[in-house]
Chain A
């Protein structure tokens, strides 16, 4: 285990320290350094303090654990590996990710899972424990987005305009989602046992990571949202 003291190191220096070693690393005193672990594979990284934007961008097969909040654009275009956040995350998490997992204990900002995709055996998974901001799963093309709403602070589980432009993949929201307005191009329905069987292994892993009970999690109904191929996405921004 290598310990990196990030106080007074810029993002280049932090990443050079990470690359120098093949062993697992702990970063102490992190404060806003960007691009941490970008493109890295084959190691476990633990971060104390708040990492900067684009944490784990292009992540290729490393595991990152953050013991606080994280900022914008985590897991941008990630390919494989896992990012575990014991806090909230900022906007545009998992932008165009095509593999790997982002598990968040707290809330997500706007545009989580924007343009998430999938390819053959690569199925990215994002799980948000609290609530997600507007434009969740915008242009989603593949993969699985799950929002649990375990602590929503009286907010809706998702903000406005979820699934705008969605044309692939699946979204699961815990609850009946009666108050949520979905676009006409998607279908929202109550999740069946088959749907839930598909995500059970991810939920179990999430519960192990954060100390929740999967049974309790599954005691509430889930809503599953998929694109409606009979009524494809056409536009969002012109007629506002």
Chain B
């Protein structure tokens, strides 16, 4: 095998996403195909997908997708889950055996509802209760890992190339109104199943192309609020920052973008709209430790929508396109063309300019 320095692998992560503004449900085959023209951006050490609206029959239950290293770990974890949740369904996640994907762990999913009695006695809201449970399993239960924990959504990830991972997880058999995808080129950590993107917490998911340089500053700040970064992967901290800003601080998506991809002070100073200037000054002053520096382009998925965002210097590429009620986002235009050859209005958002797409009001998702 050729070693480092003897071979160059030209790549740099790939992201793609699609959403129907009408809430129309689409099979996961299209998003899988989007990753094909961007094959060279990944190196086969990870990829994954998130689909929203895929579990309508269980939409009131949290869907836990989990990896286990052994049957014993799974049994032990199930005992733990049964003490805290009503488990309405427990099943293996169906996969296709293909030569491109090997060494899979035990991949399981549970549809669960928190036990009301425990919520009352612990005086926690449902979401916080679920977050704490996920954190507890991921930090204290070796061999068990929750990689998806939202309602009516799920992530599917593995070590391999994304287009093969989509086939492995039979995404063509799922229907979702929005999908995100990631092809990985790990820069700081070895590729393993849990470390692949998307990273999720509740129904929030993040796919990320880049390598943030503020990781430790961001991580230290987030740890003060109980978020444990267990993976040394920058994308994980982005997921927690967005959870903190949106769920706990109740910021809007636009405001959260202005925190993590804050404009330069000189840009704020030159704003003609004084209210806007005041707001940006406030956000940069309140959350200086949550400014994310270094290259990133992310797609943040949540129940009912998507947000795409570039770092403020725009050190990674990202394009957006449309066709009728569909919106497509990807690292390269060719991925959009793979999803919709006749996509229109192809444009590249500026650094720090969020693109937020939500499913139309009144549409049940």
Contacts and interface: CB of A to CB of B under 8 A. Distances in A.
A52 B40 CA distance: 10
B332 interface: yes
Nearest to A109: B348
Contact of A90 (B39, B266, B335, B348): B348
Q: How large is the interface on A (under 10, 10 to 19, 20 to 34, 35 or more residues)?
A: 20 to 34
Given A69-B346, A160-B267, A240-B265, A133 B314 contact: yes
Interface string B327-365: 000001111011000000011101100000000000000
Contact of B338 (A10, A31, A69, A90): A31
Contacts of B267: 160
B131 to A, nearest CB: 33
B332 A71 contact: yes
A133 B351 CA distance: 9
Contacts of B264: 160, 240
A110 B332 contact: no
Contact of A110 (B265, B314, B335): B314
Interface in B155-181: none
A181 B317 contact: no
A175 interface: no
B144 interface: no
A11 interface: yes
B319 interface: yes
A76 B351 CA distance: 22
A226 interface: no
A32 B38 contact: yes
A71 B334 contact: yes
Contacts of B338: 31
A135 B315 CA distance: 11
A80 interface: no
Contacts, number: 61
Interface residues of B, number: 25
A129 B10 CA distance: 31
B37 interface: yes
Contacts of A50: 333-334, 337
19 contacts: A11-B40, A31-B334, A32-B38, A32-B334, A34-B40, A69-B346, A88-B346, A88-B347, A90-B319, A91-B314, A91-B348, A109-B314, A109-B317, A109-B348, A110-B314, A110-B351, A159-B350, A160-B264, A240-B264
Interface of A: 10-11, 31-32, 34, 49-50, 52-53, 69, 71-72, 88, 90-91, 109-110, 133-135, 159-160, 181, 240
Given A31-B37, A69-B333, A240-B265, 18 more contacts: A11-B40, A31-B338, A52-B332, A53-B332, A69-B346, A72-B332, A88-B347, A88-B348, A90-B317, A91-B317, A109-B314, A109-B348, A110-B313, A133-B314, A133-B350, A134-B350, A160-B267, A181-B266
